[in-house]
Copies of this chain bind each other. A is one copy, B any other.
Amino acid sequence: MLKAIVTVMLKKGIFDPQGRAVQNGLESIGFEKIRSVRIGKQIEIALDTQDKGVADASVHQMCDKMLANPVVESYSFEIKEI
């Protein structure tokens, strides 16, 4: 079985209000030296296949069609044996 680990982040330059809120929160409880915080999603997909090529093509399609919004988000993924 294969597992795809997909990371979806807002593109550079897109304002990330959730990250900003977490940065403010961390600063408010005493953490200094934080330059920025950005928050994205990590999506782990367990796939019933052994073929890495098939898995790779399939996960690309999943990202393009549903997991990421190409207007504001970019994605990357790796595929591991489990």
Interface residues of A (CB under 8 A from B): 1, 7, 9, 19, 22, 25-26, 29, 31, 33-49, 58, 61-62, 65-67
Asked whether A44 lies within 8 Å of B35 as measured between CB atoms, the reply is no
Known: A29-B65, A66-B29. A39 touches B43 (CB 8 A): yes
| CB-nearest residue of chain B to A7 | B42
With the chains together, A77 CA to B58 CA distance in Å?
Answer: 27
Given contacts A42-B40, A67-B22, contact A1 B62 (CB under 8 A): no
Cβ contacts under 8 Å, A66 to chain B? 22, 25-26, 29
What would be 14 A-B contacts, judged by CB atoms less than 8 Å apart? Answer: A1-B35, A22-B67, A29-B65, A33-B47, A33-B48, A35-B46, A35-B47, A36-B46, A37-B44, A37-B45, A37-B46, A38-B44, A39-B44, A40-B43
